[in-house]
């Protein structure tokens, strides 16, 4: 496999009933996007199979995992892949096979239709490919850390506050592109604060997003094997009593955002999946 190829490692039960899903649904779909998809049973290796699986997860650009049937080995391997901060695309024939705490991750419910799987997986792999190409071109990985949410509640309103920590990592052997600006794209209603000051914002220039917020870069370049972190908070009113809305003690905030790095090599957009519960701070 060429070092330029994007490699998708596939995790699924070793059962003949999954062969068509793998060969026609996953492998052929990936090949059409110039992505090499492989299962461990297709490879030649000398070490133990578990060691091989972990090494391939480490080497992979993308993990595609079929969670159907709640196979414990697949679940464990997906947990390892998440710990390694890999892009994971979860598949299932039945949504109940994906645990509740994983449903905010990107996933596909294909039912009993390989055609559905091919269509939806094309979209997901195209997204993943773009993210990987961003990293290769900019030499900057973007990792959203665990979100923390708080709720400011009165009799008339509920306002959520989400604390963001986003790692910028260059684990390549080259210095990154020079960062000229960073924009965070959200839906309308959000304001962002960084270092105690409200971030400037304007209307979005990306469809499906209402606002574009300017975030001050932590530094201009990431040298090889270096790291920096963005820290900011997002604030949004989640309910108003005068609109007839019930003022609750907690709210789940989910959706997606875009972090755009404006660099000397062009713009690079990283999609972030958001899922956090904002609740009242316990006293």
| pTM for the model | 0.81
173, 224 contact by CB (below 8 A)? yes
Give the DSSP per-residue string, 210-271: -EEEEE--S-S---TTEEEEEEEEEEEEEEEGGGT----SEEEEEEEEEEEEEETTEEEEEE
Whether 51 maps to a domain, the answer reads yes
In a shared domain, residues 148 and 253: yes
In a shared domain, residues 175 and 129: no
Whether 99 maps to a domain, the answer reads yes
In a shared domain, residues 236 and 262: yes
In a shared domain, residues 93 and 214: no
Q: What domain count does the chain have?
A: 2
pLDDT 10s per residue in the chain (283 long)?
Answer: 444 689 999 999 888 888 899 999 999 999 999 999 999 887 766 677 888 899 999 999 999 999 888 889 999 999 999 899 899 999 988 877 766 555 556 778 888 889 999 999 999 999 999 999 999 999 999 999 889 999 999 999 999 999 999 999 998 899 999 999 999 999 999 999 999 999 999 999 999 999 999 999 999 999 999 999 999 999 999 999 988 888 999 999 988 999 999 999 999 999 998 989 999 865 4
CATH number of residue 267's parent domain: 2.60.40
| Nearest of 120, 79, 80 to residue 99 by alpha carbon | 79
In a shared domain, residues 100 and 207: no
Whether 68 maps to a domain, the answer reads yes
Whole-number pLDDT of residue 101: 55
Whole-number pLDDT of residue 184: 98
Whether 232 maps to a domain, the answer reads yes
Whether 37 maps to a domain, the answer reads yes
In a shared domain, residues 172 and 117: no
| Nearest of 146, 282, 135, 166 to residue 231 by alpha carbon | 166
Whether 39 maps to a domain, the answer reads yes
Pick from 115, 137, 159: which residue ends a domain? 137
**Gap between the Cα atoms of 65 and 162, Å rounded:** 30
Angle at 235 between CA 231 and CA 238, to 5 degrees: 145
In a shared domain, residues 200 and 73: no
Whole-number pLDDT of residue 78: 92
In a shared domain, residues 270 and 162: yes
**Gap between the Cα atoms of 235 and 159, Å rounded:** 7
Whether 180 maps to a domain, the answer reads yes
In a shared domain, residues 131 and 241: no
Pick from 82, 117, 137: which residue ends a domain? 137
Query: Domain range spanning residue 220?
Result: 141-280
Whether 1 maps to a domain, the answer reads no
In a shared domain, residues 270 and 149: yes
Pick from 88, 117, 137: which residue ends a domain? 137
In a shared domain, residues 62 and 151: no
In a shared domain, residues 146 and 265: yes
CATH number of residue 59's parent domain: 3.40.50.450
């Amino acid at each position: 496999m060429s070092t330029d190829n994007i490699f998708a490692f596939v995790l699924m039960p070793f059962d003949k009933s999954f062969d068509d899903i793998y060969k026609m649904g996953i492998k052929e779909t990936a090949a059409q996007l110039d992505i090499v998809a492989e299962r461990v049973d297709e490879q030649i290796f000398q070490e133990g199979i578990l060691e091989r699986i972990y090494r391939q997860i480490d080497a992979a650009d993308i993990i595609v995992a079929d969670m159907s049937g709640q196979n414990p080995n697949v679940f464990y391997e997906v947990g390892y892949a998440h710990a390694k901060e890999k892009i994971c695309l979860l598949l299932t024939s039945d949504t109940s096979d994906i645990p509740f705490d994983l449903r905010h991750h990107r996933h596909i419910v294909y039912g009993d239709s390989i055609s559905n799987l091919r269509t939806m997986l094309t979209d997901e792999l195209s997204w993943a490919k773009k993210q990987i190409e961003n990293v290769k071109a900019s030499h900057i990985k973007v990792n959203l850390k665990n979100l923390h949410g708080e709720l400011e509640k009165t009799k008339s309103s509920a306002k959520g506050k989400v604390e963001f920590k986003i790692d910028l990592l260059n684990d390549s052997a080259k210095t990154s592109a020079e960062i000229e600006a960073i924009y965070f794209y959200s839906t309308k209603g959000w304001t962002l604060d960084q270092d105690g000051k409200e971030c400037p914002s304007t209307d979005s220039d990306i469809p499906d997003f209402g606002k574009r917020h300017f975030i001050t870069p932590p530094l201009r370049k990431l040298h090889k094997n270096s790291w920096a972190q963005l820290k900011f908070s997002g604030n949004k009113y989640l309910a108003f009593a005068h609109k007839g809305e019930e003022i609750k003690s907690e709210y789940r905030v989910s959706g997606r955002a875009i972090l755009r790095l404006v660099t000397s090599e062009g713009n690079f957009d990283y999609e972030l999946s958001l899922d956090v519960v904002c609740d009242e701070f316990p006293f």
